[in-house]
Amino acid sequence: MLSAAITHYHSLLADSALAQTSQQCLTEGLRSERLFFGDRPLVTVLRPRLLTAGQYAHLQQAGHLVAQAARRVAALALQPGSTGDAVRAVLQFTPAEQALLALPPGYAEPSAHSRMDTFLTVDGASLQFIEYNAESPAAIAYTDVAGAIFLDLPVMQVFAQHYRVHALPARQCMADTLLNAWRAAGSPGGTPRIAIVDWAGVPTATEFELFRAYFAQQGLPALICTPDDLVWRGGKLYARPAAGGSEQLITIVYKRVLTSELLQHYGDDLLAHPLLQAYAAGACVLVNSFRSRLLHKKSLFALLTNERFAALFTPEEQVAIQRHVPWTRPVQPGETTYQGERIDLPTFARTNRERLLLKPDDGYGGRQITIGWEVSPDHWEAALAVALTTPFVVQERVPIAYESYPTLINGRVVLADRLVDSDPFLFGSEVAGCLCRLSTQTLLNVSTGGGSIAPVFVVSERE
C-alpha cells in the first residue's frame, strides 16, 4: 500500500499547474511561519514522509523498549558499587558533570523529552537507532508547523481524496511535559512561567519563537532569553527578555542550551550561575534536567550492547536492543567483545574501517564524525589516533534508508533519491511524533547544510 501511495502522490505532480501552485503555497507558508534554519528553508521537497500505521506502531514500540532499557542502565550511574563504577567508567563523566548530576532535579524522569535518531527503511524491514538525543532535542515545533503547511498544499488536498493522512503533532506533549515536571517538583513559584534559554543568534531561534507563541495560546506565559539574561535575587529566578522589557519571574526553564556549552562558557563559575542557584534551591524546574546527561552520551549505546549489562533488561528489551541498536564501544585501548568474541578494540577498528564510524562521545550536529567507508585508510588511521586520546565511540554501520523525493527545479519536478531518517520524539519513554530529515550526504543533519526536513504522516487507504 505504501509504495502505491507514494507512486500516486508523485503522479499527481506530473500536473505542472498543481506542482507550481503547491510549491508556491509551500514557499509562502515557510516564509510566513519563518521555517528557516539560519537563512536556509527547512523544507525543500514537495512530499511528506509517509508511514503506514504498522510502521509507526513499530517505531513506537521499539523506541519505548530501548528508552526503558537505557533508563535502567543509566540509573546505575548514580548508584554506589562495582556495577555503578562500571557504568560511570563507560560514560566518562568529568568532575564538573558529576557535580551537576548530584543536584536533585525535583522530578524522577532523567530525560523528560528526547529524540532517537533512526533509520527506518521504506519497507520497514530495518529499524536502527543510531543516537539518543536526550538533552536538548530540536524540531518539535518545526515539524508540527511544517505538517500544518503541507496539509494545505493543493497536491496534498488532491492526494487526500484517495488516501487518509494522519498528522503526528507533538507540541502539546512538550507543553504537558513542562507542566508535569513543574507540578512534580512541587509547583515552585505557584504559577508556571517559562523561559526558553539558549545563546543569542543560534540557527534554531525561529523554533523558540514558534514555541513561545504556542505556549501563549495554551495560557502559559513564556519568554526567550540567554543564560546571561537570568538573575537570581531574593530566592527567585528572573529573566530579562531578549526582545527587551522588564525582568520577569521564571519558574520553568525550557533548557535548549547544552550542558557542555554551559560548562565550556562558564567553567568553574557555573555552579554560582543564577540558573544553577535557582535549580539547586528548587526555585525553578529545569527541562531537561542535568541528569539527561546520563542518557545523552553516545557511549550509552556501548552499555546497551555490552553483554555484561544484559541481565539488567527484560527479555523484550534485550530483543529490541539486539534488533535495533548497533554495536557501539568507547574507543579505548584493550579488549572488548564483538558478536560474542573477544577482540582487541584498536586492532579491530583498524582492520574493519569499511563497516565502522567514529563519533565524539558528546558531539552534536554531525561534527567530528568520521565515516570509515567514505574515507581513505590514512584518514581513518589519523581519526582513530585522535579518538584514542579523547572520549569517542566506534559504532557499526547500519542499513541506511533511501527514498525518492520530488523537488521543483526550474519549473520541473525532479525526483531524486535522498537519505532518510525517521526520528521519533519521546516524552519520558513514550513515542509521540517524529522528525524526518533528508539529505544527499551520509550525515543526516540540517546543520551540516543542504538538508531538508519533511513532515511525517501516517497514511492509509480510503474504503
pLDDT in tens, 22-52: 999 999 999 999 998 777 899 999 999 999 9
Amino acid found at 420: V
* 38 and 144 housed in the same domain: yes
* 380 and 414 housed in the same domain: no
Smallest CA-to-CA distance from 424 within 130, 6, 36, 47 is with: 130
Alpha helices (H) in 1-81, listed in sequence order: 2-12, 16-33, 53-75
The stretch 241-265 carries a mean pLDDT of 93
At what angle are helices 205-217 and 140-151 packed, to 10 degrees? 80
Q: Can you name the residues that pair with 452 across neighbouring β-strands?
A: 438
Give the Å distances, CA to CA, from 436 to 46, 50, 324, 326, 432.
Answer: 14, 10, 18, 20, 13
Contact status, residue 289 vs residue 105, Cβ threshold 8 Å: yes
Contact status, residue 433 vs residue 414, Cβ threshold 8 Å: no
The stretch 54-75 carries a mean pLDDT of 96
Distance between CA atoms of residues 317 and 73, nearest Å: 12
Contact status, residue 376 vs residue 327, Cβ threshold 8 Å: no
Indicate whether 303 belongs to any domain.
Answer: no
The stretch 255-259 carries a mean pLDDT of 97
C-alpha cell of residue 15 = 500536473
**Maximum Cα–Cα distance across the chain:** 68
Please tell me the least confidently modeled range out of 8-22, 42-56, 235-249, 444-458. 444-458
Torsion angle in degrees (nearest 10) through CA of 72, 126, 60, 159? 160
* 45 and 97 housed in the same domain: yes
C-alpha cell of residue 72 = 535502567
Per-residue model confidence (pLDDT) at position 337: 95
Phi, psi of 416 (to 5 degrees): -140, 145
Last residue of a domain, one of 368, 396, 424: 396
Sign of the Cα torsion 87, 92, 96, 97 reads negative
* 257 and 357 housed in the same domain: no
Indicate whether 321 belongs to any domain.
Answer: no
Confidence of residue 444 (pLDDT cuts 50, 70, 90): very low
The stretch 172-186 carries a mean pLDDT of 98
Indicate whether 233 belongs to any domain.
Answer: yes
Per-residue model confidence (pLDDT) at position 442: 56
pLDDT at 452 over 70: yes
Confidence of residue 412 (pLDDT cuts 50, 70, 90): very high
Per-residue model confidence (pLDDT) at position 365: 62
Confidence of residue 83 (pLDDT cuts 50, 70, 90): confident
Q: Can you name the residues that pair with 250 across neighbouring β-strands?
A: 237
Last residue of a domain, one of 343, 367, 396: 396
For residue range 319-377, list pLDDT tens digits in order: 999 999 999 999 999 999 999 999 999 999 999 999 999 999 987 666 789 999 999 99
Indicate whether 190 belongs to any domain.
Answer: yes
Q: Can you name the residues that pair with 230 across neighbouring β-strands?
A: 239
pLDDT at 84 over 60: yes
Smallest CA-to-CA distance from 157 within 22, 292, 320 is with: 22
* 439 and 344 housed in the same domain: no
- Cis before 288? omega within 30: yes
Chain CA centroid to CA 173, Å: 15
Indicate whether 306 belongs to any domain.
Answer: no
Torsion angle in degrees (nearest 10) through CA of 323, 299, 141, 145? -40
Contact status, residue 406 vs residue 45, Cβ threshold 8 Å: yes
For residue 424, give its domain range.
Answer: 2-296+401-461
pLDDT at 393 over 50: yes
The stretch 371-398 carries a mean pLDDT of 96
Last residue of a domain, one of 366, 396, 426: 396
Q: Are strands 456-461 and 163-167 parallel, antiparallel or unpaired?
A: antiparallel
| Count: domains in the chain | 2
Indicate whether 310 belongs to any domain.
Answer: no
* 191 and 337 housed in the same domain: no
Q: Which residue has the cell 506502531?
A: 57
Q: Where are the beta strands (DSSP E) in 84-243?
A: 113-120, 127-133, 163-167, 194-197, 222-225, 230-233, 236-239
* 121 and 173 housed in the same domain: yes
Indicate whether 322 belongs to any domain.
Answer: no
If you average pLDDT over every residue of the chain, what do you get? 94
Q: What is the DSSP letter of 91?
A: H
* 163 and 68 housed in the same domain: yes
The stretch 239-249 carries a mean pLDDT of 89
Percent of the chain at pLDDT > 90 equals: 88
Per-residue model confidence (pLDDT) at position 446: 43
Per-residue model confidence (pLDDT) at position 106: 96
Residue 79, number of CB atoms within 10 A of its CB: 11
* 357 and 389 housed in the same domain: yes
**pTM of the entire predicted model:** 0.94
Q: Which residue has the cell 523498549?
A: 65
pLDDT at 242 over 90: no
Per-residue model confidence (pLDDT) at position 448: 41
Per-residue model confidence (pLDDT) at position 245: 84
